[in-house]
Structure 1
């Protein structure tokens, strides 16, 4: 749960000596934990008054959007690996595409597996430990 800005400002302005309260008393009145108090104080010590405002919670790497051409590339890669007699599972397809089209356009292994499942391709991976033996 995010701490509201008005509480963060109170933490920033709190001085135990000036206000005549302990940190524990202040935290109890404000309804926050001592750990939260110290986290906010440390942010303010590092960033100045700008530390009052929390950082963005948006992902640092936004989700990549892929189109039908990328799905087709996965199917073609699977077909090429199959024709060469190589493993054609999601990891193999990932590394095949990584080497051929580069890291910036290669979908993740889990995305490749999801697409293969959506397209009706069966995974060639063993499902149980007994199948390894």
Structure 2
């Protein structure tokens, strides 16, 4: 489903003058192009403040992008994983998360979530082949 209006429809809204003789009312105009009055006024207001930028929808991307984890974080997670494995403990993402959260100073200041730890370890090839085969067989 398309949520944004075309530039042509936006131009029609911007150029509509309800004060012209025999013009439709704002409500009738909105009904004719199948938009709400609030959308009409939002686009008109944006045209006043931003000129031609109102012809295109605003970006729907987040203003603050998702957190990025650099090499120091990934290296620390790999180090914790290797230590857990060497000590004979479970070395999955949950165990790594627990160990990382026990550290006073983790690189980057914040320990990634369990799912992010799994994704980061997978991206650098630290996933057991047995685990991958089991999950592929189960359809996960």
TM-score normalized by the length of structure 2: 0.55
Show the 5 A alignment for 1:97-108: 99-102=105-108, 108=112
Aligned partner of 2:58 among 51, 55, 68: 55
Q: 1:4 to 1:107 in 2, by over 3 A?
A: farther
* Count of residues paired in the alignment: 113
Q: 1:76 to 1:40 in 2, by over 3 A?
A: same
Matched residues in 2 for 1:31 and 1:92: separation?
56
TM-score normalized by the length of structure 1: 0.58
Q: Which runs of 5+ in 2 are unaligned?
A: 88-94, 129-140
Cα contact 1:94–1:108 (8 A) shared by 2 = no
Aligned partner of 2:8 among 2, 6, 9: 6
Q: How far apart are 1:3 and its partner, in Å? A: 0.5
Which of structure 1's runs of 4+ aligned residues deviate more than 6 A?
Answer: none
Deviations, residues 2-24 of structure 1 (Å, cap 9, x unaligned) = 10010000100111112621111
Show the 5 A alignment for 1:1-133: 1-18=3-20, 20-60=23-63, 61=65, 64=68, 70-77=73-80, 79=83, 90=97, 93=100, 96=103, 99-102=105-108, 108-109=112-113, 110-112=115-117, 114-115=119-120, 119=127
